[in-house]
């Protein structure tokens, strides 16, 4: 068992994501992070539990609400925060931002800003790794809002048809922006998987250990040639769809409902499973790590506008400028 | 006179048309809570049968609207993000747009696609910052880019009443624009009819969408040295070519400022048509995004890819110097 899969390791990852998002929201309010973020607060157990079942050479694709996935897979929180702040020292050199964080060295193929768009990308990467003779797997995250996108269902078909080593993780956080699954989804998430012959399970997405246990089985199946598995991790989005809501305050859920939804907190669930002293030590270490991450982000240089289209082409082809 | 914001004008146009014509209905994501504001209050006024909050299924609900239109409805679809047009491009360009011709005129597809917040917002990065109006003009879908609140109202009303598919781009750079208007005087604005915001005699600046306001600012800066005519095409397809020709008869010089990627952007078509058919005494110029630009996230990089006032001013001065 890796350190991340120990009870204290799962807690450490949950605490890291929780603290990271708190600081990121503050930096949005301060104007340091432009464009806002989609906080994953409340959903940390999904990221922590799934990534603890993966090897460093396995890969993931993520979503617009992807900070937790990227951190849990092993990206450096300091470079992640610098990316959110648009600095040259960020994971993507300030080119991607919150919705596109990628760290190929850590197996993060990237977050994606189009709902459902990364699911076939994960399937294709999984297929290629198997073709190369490796026993690596890919894991795709997507939300409850994505399961009615055609491309996601088409990906289920391809993955099952070709027994691709991919794990399909649906984070059902109760809301697609303002819309509830009951208002957008005929049938069920696991029923969609069943239609393609994909084994599927509903998992307690507030419990890191439950997510780890379910993902471990899915990863083993994928690695051993058994093809895809779908896990519907039922969780709850504690914060806004996007930090824009902190000022605009659209009304699609009541305060009472939020209070009920946040009653089960992955931080407390996993925190209760480790000695108090261990928890206190992890909390202190995490706070120090994240304070340093913020310092690193703020100290990073802003990118030079003359480099705006660097990397546009892998071959180095240079486009003409906009004004002649 | 009351102040009308561009966003309120869009909202008012949809509401007025829904009142006027029971066939008008609205589909889109989160339109019940109106995250873009364009659909604010419509669910309460018109109910769930006419204001349909959709699942995140853009390809399906876009052609769903096509089918509804072919069966007598007049749907308006709101897309929250301009890049969703890439997702639904097949449904618009290859389906809705082609049915009138392919059926020998048996059907019509009166669907309006509204983009409240096209182009770059503040650091929304590569997948949320495109401005693909030229793409739709290229394939021949009617394409509208209003610059002011009055025109946003008038052009959206016209788009809804039009019997063909029409894409209405509401640039994020224009959404905050407000003006004093006589609400009773709001009226449809025909497609293919340009608006001259400022008359001039030295240079015609064709400005698209929010860039009209930048062009007016540059015209102000240059007043006294260069007389700039600010020409707002309002619709890119159809385009008011006769209006542009008349303007160039007066000025003989052309600068286009266009938030498209340079290669194959609408600015290229405007410059080419002017060069072929109109009076020019100096080489025409374009101020655009770079070729094939993908907007980077960091604010400095994002801004570096968009047309600027200083670039426009330099292009106008070069045009006059060359003449």
Given a cut of 90, whether residue B141 has pLDDT beyond it is yes
The dihedral through the CA atoms of A21, A26, A29, A35 has a sign that is: negative
Q: A233 CA to chain B: closest CA distance, Å? A: 19
Given a cut of 70, whether residue B313 has pLDDT beyond it is yes
Residues B151, B64 within the same domain: yes
Number of residues in chain B: 323
Quick check: is B65 in a domain? Answer: yes
Domain that residue A33 falls in: 3-307
Domain of B267, CATH number, reads 3.40.50.920
A277 CB within 8 Å of a chain B CB? no
A237 is catalytic: yes
Residues 6+ apart with CB under 8 A from B107: B70, B99, B100
Structurally, how many domains does chain A consist of? 1
CA distances from B111 to A197, A219, B60, B239, B278 (A): 38, 46, 14, 20, 34
Q: Between the CA atoms of B10, B13, B18 and B20, what dihedral angle is there, to the nearest 10 degrees? A: 180
Average pLDDT rounded to a whole number, residues B240-255? 98
Quick check: is A312 in a domain? Answer: no
Per DSSP, B34 falls in state: T
How far apart are the C-alpha atoms of B148 and B9, rounded to whole Å? Answer: 9
Q: B300 and A95 in contact by Cβ < 8 A? A: no
| pLDDT value of position B322 | 61
**Residues A12-35 as b or e (16 or more Cβ within 10 Å = b):** bbbbbbbbbbebbbebbeeebbbb
Domain of A296, CATH number, reads 3.40.50.970
Given a cut of 60, whether residue B265 has pLDDT beyond it is yes
Residues B61, B168 within the same domain: yes
Write the Ramachandran bin of A107: left for phi over 0, alpha for psi from -120 to 50, otherwise beta. Answer: left
Q: A149 and B289 in contact by Cβ < 8 A? A: no
Residues 6+ apart with CB under 8 A from B202: B226, B227, B228, B251, B253, B320
CA distances from B154 to A109, A112, A296, B242 (A): 45, 36, 50, 21
Q: B250 CA to chain A: closest CA distance, Å? A: 24
Residues B119, B13 within the same domain: yes
| pLDDT value of position B123 | 87
Average pLDDT rounded to a whole number, residues B232-237? 98
What does the H/E/C string look like for A168-220? Answer: EEEEECCCECCECHHHHCCCCHHHHHHHCCCCEEEEECCCHHHHHHHHHHHHH
Q: Are B255 and B315 in contact (CB under 8 A)?
A: yes
Residues B175, B210 within the same domain: no
Q: Is the peptide bond before A280 cis (omega within 30 degrees of 0)?
A: no
Quick check: is A246 in a domain? Answer: yes
Residues B308, B230 within the same domain: yes
| pLDDT value of position A248 | 87
How far apart are the C-alpha atoms of B306 and B287, rounded to whole Å? Answer: 9
* β pairing state of B178-180 and B24-28: unpaired
Chosen domain end from B142, B167, B185: B185
CA A271 to chain centroid: 21
**Rounded to a whole number, what is the distance in angstroms from the first to the last CA of chain A?**
60
Selecting among A65, A241, A242, A279, the annotated active-site residue is A241
Q: Are B143 and B136 in contact (CB under 8 A)?
A: yes
How far apart are the C-alpha atoms of A129 and A35, rounded to whole Å? Answer: 35
Residues B139, B78 within the same domain: yes
| Closest to B311 in 3D by CA, of B232, B258, B238 | B258
Q: Between the CA atoms of A217, A219, A222 and A223, what dihedral angle is there, to the nearest 10 degrees? A: -110
How far apart are the C-alpha atoms of B63 and A130, rounded to whole Å? Answer: 37
The dihedral through the CA atoms of A21, A67, A44, A73 has a sign that is: negative
How far apart are the C-alpha atoms of B250 and B248, rounded to whole Å? Answer: 5
Structurally, how many domains does chain B consist of? 2
Task: Give me the residue from B33, B301, B307 closest to A250, CB to CB.
Answer: B33
Quick check: is A250 in a domain? Answer: yes
B128 is catalytic: yes
Q: B295 CA to chain A: closest CA distance, Å? A: 8
Quick check: is A313 in a domain? Answer: no
Q: A319 and B290 in contact by Cβ < 8 A? A: yes
Two tokens, residue A147: 């399961």
Q: Are A48 and A211 in contact (CB under 8 A)?
A: yes
Task: Give pLDDT tens digits for B114-133.
Answer: 999 999 988 899 999 999 99
User: Mean pLDDT by 10-residue block, N- to C-terminus, for chain A (324 residues)?
Assistant: 94 98 98 96 98 98 97 98 98 96 96 95 95 96 97 97 97 94 95 98 98 98 98 97 91 93 97 98 98 98 95 89 72
Given a cut of 60, whether residue B284 has pLDDT beyond it is yes
CA distances from A289 to A17, A246, A316, B286 (A): 12, 27, 36, 49
Q: Which helix (H) or strand (E) holds A293?
A: helix A276-299
Please list every residue in chain B whose beta carbon sits closer than 8 Å to the beta carbon of residue A98.
125
Task: Give pLDDT tens digits for B26-68.
Answer: 999 999 999 999 999 999 999 999 999 999 999 999 999 999 9
Selecting among B128, B197, B213, B237, the annotated active-site residue is B128
Task: Give pLDDT tens digits for B164-187.
Answer: 999 999 999 999 999 999 999 999
Residues B180, B219 within the same domain: no
Quick check: is A314 in a domain? Answer: no
Best residue of A145, A150, A250, A308 to probe chain B, by most B CBs closer than 10 Å: A308
Residues 6+ apart with CB under 8 A from A283: A15
Angle formed by the axes of helices A7-29 and A208-223, to 10°? 110
Task: Give pLDDT tens digits for B8-17.
Answer: 999 999 999 9
Quick check: is B21 in a domain? Answer: yes
Residues 6+ apart with CB under 8 A from A87: A94, A297, A300, A301, A302, A303, B298
B231 φ, ψ (degrees, to nearest 5): -110, 115
Residues B61, B85 within the same domain: yes
Residues B207, B316 within the same domain: yes
Quick check: is A318 in a domain? Answer: no
| Closest to B148 in 3D by CA, of B119, B122, B180 | B180
Quick check: is A320 in a domain? Answer: no
Chosen domain end from B185, B214, B248: B185
Residue B1: which pLDDT band, with cuts at 50, 70 and 90? confident
Best residue of A87, A154, A322 to probe chain B, by most B CBs closer than 10 Å: A322
A157 CB within 8 Å of a chain B CB? no
Quick check: is A191 in a domain? Answer: yes
How far apart are the C-alpha atoms of A310 and B91, rounded to whole Å? Answer: 33
| pLDDT value of position A310 | 93
Average pLDDT rounded to a whole number, residues B198-210? 98
Residue B247: which pLDDT band, with cuts at 50, 70 and 90? very high
Quick check: is B230 in a domain? Answer: yes
Residues B175, B301 within the same domain: no
Best residue of B36, B38, B54, B56 to probe chain A, by most A CBs closer than 10 Å: B56
| pLDDT value of position B200 | 98
Domain that residue B296 falls in: 195-322
Chosen domain end from B185, B207, B232: B185
Quote the ipTM score. 0.87
Look over chain B and give the mean of its residue pLDDT values, rounded to a whole number: 96
Two tokens, residue B243: 């209006």
Residues B255, B315 within the same domain: yes
Neighbours of B260 (CB within 10 A): 28
How far apart are the C-alpha atoms of B289 and B278, rounded to whole Å? Answer: 25
Q: B30 and A116 in contact by Cβ < 8 A? A: no
Residue B266: which pLDDT band, with cuts at 50, 70 and 90? very high
Q: Which helix (H) or strand (E) holds B6?
A: helix B6-20
Domain of B12, CATH number, reads 3.40.50.970
Given a cut of 60, whether residue B323 has pLDDT beyond it is no
Residues B181, B199 within the same domain: no
Quick check: is B302 in a domain? Answer: yes
CA distances from B281 to B30, B198, B219, B321 (A): 51, 21, 20, 11
Residue B244: which pLDDT band, with cuts at 50, 70 and 90? very high
């Amino acid at each position: 068992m890796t350190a991340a899969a120990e009870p204290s390791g799962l807690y450490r990852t949950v605490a890291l994501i929780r603290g990271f998002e708190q600081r990121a929201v503050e930096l949005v309010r301060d104007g340091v992070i432009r464009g806002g973020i989609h906080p994953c607060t409340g959903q940390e157990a999904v990221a922590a539990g799934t990534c603890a079942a993966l090897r460093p050479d396995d890969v993931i694709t993520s979503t617009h609400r992807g900070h937790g996935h990227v951190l849990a897979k092993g990206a450096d929180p300091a470079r992640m925060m610098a990316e959110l702040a648009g600095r040259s020292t960020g994971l993507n050199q300030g080119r991607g931002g919150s919705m596109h964080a990628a760290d190929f060295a850590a197996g993060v193929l990237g977050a994606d800003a189009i709902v459902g768009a990364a699911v076939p990308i994960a399937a294709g990467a999984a297929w290629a790794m198997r073709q190369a003779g490796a026993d690596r797997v890919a894991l795709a995250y997507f939300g409850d809002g994505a399961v009615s996108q055609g491309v996601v269902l088409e990906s289920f078909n391809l993955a099952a048809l070709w027994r691709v080593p991919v794990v399909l993780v649906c984070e059902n956080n109760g809301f697609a922006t303002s819309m509830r699954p009951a208002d957008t989804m005929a049938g069920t998430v696991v029923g969609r998987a069943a239609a393609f012959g994909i084994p599927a399970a509903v998992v307690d997405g507030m419990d890191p250990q439950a997510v780890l246990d379910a993902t471990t089985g899915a990863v083993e199946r994928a690695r051993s040639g058994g093809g895809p598995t779908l896990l519907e991790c039922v969780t709850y989005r504690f914060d806004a769809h996007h930090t824009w809501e902190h000022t605009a305050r659209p009304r699609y859920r009541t305060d009472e409902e939020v209070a009920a939804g946040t009653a089960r907190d992955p931080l407390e669930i996993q925190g209760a499973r480790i000695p108090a002293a261990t928890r206190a030590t992890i909390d202190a270490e995490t706070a120090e790590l994240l304070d340093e991450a913020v310092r690193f982000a703020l100290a990073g240089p802003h990118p030079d506008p003359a480099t705006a289209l660097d990397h546009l082409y892998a071959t180095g082809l240079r486009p003409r400028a906009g004004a002649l | 006179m009351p102040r009308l914001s561009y966003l309120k004008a869009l909202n008012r146009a949809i509401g007025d048309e829904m009142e006027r014509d029971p066939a008008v209905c609205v589909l889109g994501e989160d339109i019940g809570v109106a995250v873009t504001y364009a659909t604010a209050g419509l669910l309460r006024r018109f109910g769930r049968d006419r204001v349909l909050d959709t699942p995140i299924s853009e390809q399906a609900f876009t052609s769903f609207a096509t089918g509804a239109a072919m069966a007598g409805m007049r749907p308006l679809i709101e897309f929250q993000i301009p890049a969703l047009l890439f997702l639904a491009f097949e449904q618009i360009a290859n389906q809705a747009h082609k049915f009138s011709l392919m059926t020998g005129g048996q059907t019509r597809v009166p669907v309006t696609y509204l983009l409240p917040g096209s182009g770059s917002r503040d650091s929304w990065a590569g997948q949320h910052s495109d401005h693909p109006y030229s793409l739709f003009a290229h394939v021949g879908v009617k394409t509208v880019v209003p610059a002011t609140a009055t025109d946003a109202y008038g052009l959206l009303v016209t788009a809804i009443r039009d019997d063909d598919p029409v894409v209405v781009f509401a640039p994020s750079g224009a959404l905050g624009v407000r003006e004093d208007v006589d609400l009773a005087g709001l009226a449809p604005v025909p497609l293919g009819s340009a608006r001259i915001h400022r008359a001039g005699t030295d240079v015609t600046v064709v400005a698209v969408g929010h860039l009209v306001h930048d062009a007016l600012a540059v015209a102000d800066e240059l007043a006294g040295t260069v007389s700039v005519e600010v020409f707002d095409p309002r619709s890119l397809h159809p385009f008011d070519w006769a209006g542009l020709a008349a303007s160039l008869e007066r000025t003989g010089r052309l600068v286009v400022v266009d938030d498209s990627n340079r290669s194959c952007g609408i600015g290229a078509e405007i410059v080419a048509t002017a060069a072929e058919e109109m009076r020019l005494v100096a080489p025409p110029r374009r101020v655009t995004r770079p070729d094939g630009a993908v907007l980077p996230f960091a604010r400095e990089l994002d801004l570096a890819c968009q047309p600027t006032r200083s670039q426009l001013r330099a292009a106008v001065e070069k045009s006059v110097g060359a003449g």
